[in-house]
Amino acid sequence: MVASLAAELQAAGSHNVLVAPADGEGWLARELRGTGVQVELFRIDRPLSPTFARWLTDLLRRHRIEVAHSHEFTMAVYGSWAARRAGVPHLFTMHGSRYYAARWQRRIAMCIAARLSGSVIAVSHTLTEHLRHDLWLRAGRVVTIPNGARLTPVSAAQSSLRQELGLTSDDQLAVAVGNLYPVKGHASLLEALSLICGRFPRLHVAIAGRGELEAALLARASVLNVADRFHLLGLRADVGNVLAAADLFVLPSHSEGVPLALLEAMMAVRPIVASAVGEVPSVLDGGRAGVLVPPGDAAALATAMANVLADTDRGRELAAAAAARAAEHYTFNAMMDRYAALYAKLLKPSERSHFQAESLGIAAPKVR
């Protein structure tokens, strides 16, 4: 989302500087190559780092940033601190769960960041209410802007994924998109595959993402005797290509806000089975645009997957309903318009008229 937002603003005539971790995978910089967005890399020397705060302050001044936008806890805290010292309006977006609330030090730091910022944004109504409660913010202080997605259409015939995996048109393929972390629930998806593989002897599962559970998932697939049907695709830039090959999209997460992968699957017109977590039930219209299951329940997930795979007419109905809902509520342009309105509101009156011709700062999260 950060990469898309920065690239769109740059294309509209704004100057953008994206601040990203030097010890990350470099994905953001690669994604923005050729867009004109300038990337600055940082390192944080310790958990509470005045050195990094000073570096970020100097960066905002050096690039003559007029609006700074941070994402997630670490950059919300440092971004608000540096922006206040540099005299720059600041806003931040929270995307995920309430991990910041588990420790009182983090909650206090977030409280201070909210009070130093011109706007606090949550990607879901549920997270909005949590932020208001956890940070003691008045009504209206947190703005809800759901994530928006856009997807380059790829037809099933154009997709190269089945050929890559050695599958034919007779094979069935369920796809998930998400990094291999416990919160994404891929262990439940693997268990669900083992529960229905006898009924669906040509069913395969493929996951696009990378992370710490890769070895554990592959080992578990061997124990369950489904290793030949379980595919880890790694980090993929061709999500449209991956989704186009799927008979079913599965989101088995234990926690989510408004996941971009879900929105992309809706736009790709895929039938969906998803955990009823976060804003997912609302996005899927209470189950009318996708099947909802309890998180962490492999048996329920298996049953839902089997029902959709066995009833292709029902699958097509769900896919069409999902695509229509995404087009109405979750487009990238709608999200972009709402952020642009917030940026303009934070700018000085003399700067609003040339908003698109001046500089905006986009601060990325510290990626673990």
Q: What per-residue confidence (pLDDT) applies to 367?
A: 31
Task: Please give the pLDDT value at position 46.
Answer: 87
Q: Residue 359's pLDDT is what?
A: 46
What does the alpha-carbon distance between residue 182 and residue 192 come to, in Å, rounded to a whole number? Answer: 16
275-294: pLDDT as tens digits: 999 899 999 999 999 999 99
Domain with CATH 3.40.50.2000 in the chain: 2-148+331-363, 161-329
Mapped onto helix, strand or coil, the DSSP state of residue 251 is strand
d(CA 196, CA 299): 9
pLDDT at 353: 53
Name the CATH architecture for the domain at 2-148+331-363.
3-Layer(aba) Sandwich (3.40)
Report which DSSP code applies to 268.
T
Query: How many Cα atoms occupy the beta-carbon half-sphere of 340 within 13 Å?
Result: 20
Intervals of the chain under pLDDT 70: 349-368
Say which CATH architecture domain 161-329 belongs to.
3-Layer(aba) Sandwich (3.40)
CA distances to 119, 173, 191, 230 from 223, in Å = 50, 21, 11, 12
Nearest to 153 by CA among 300, 323, 21, 6: 323
Q: Report, in angstroms and rounded to the nearest whole number, the Rg of the chain calculated over CA atoms.
A: 21
Q: For residue 97, how many other CB atoms are within 10 A of its CB?
A: 18
> What is the side-by-side order of every strand in the sheet holding 248-251?
230-234, 203-208, 172-177, 248-251, 272-275, 291-293
**Measured distance between the N- and C-terminal CA atoms of the chain, rounded to whole angstroms:** 17
The secondary structure of residue 265, as a DSSP letter, is H
Kindly report whether the global pTM for this prediction surpasses the value 0.75.
yes
**Coil, helix or strand at residue 118:** coil
**Residues ≥6 apart with Cβ < 8 Å to 167:** 173, 204, 245
What is the predicted pLDDT for the residue at 66? 94
Q: Which helix (H) or strand (E) holds 54?
A: helix 50-62
The pLDDT tens digits for 114-123 are 999 999 999 9
Token code pair at residue 10: 């740059």
Given this model, what pLDDT does residue 212 score?
94
**Pairwise CA distance, residues 5 & 65, whole Å:** 16
Asked if 267 contacts 318 with a C-beta cutoff of 8 angstroms, the reply is no
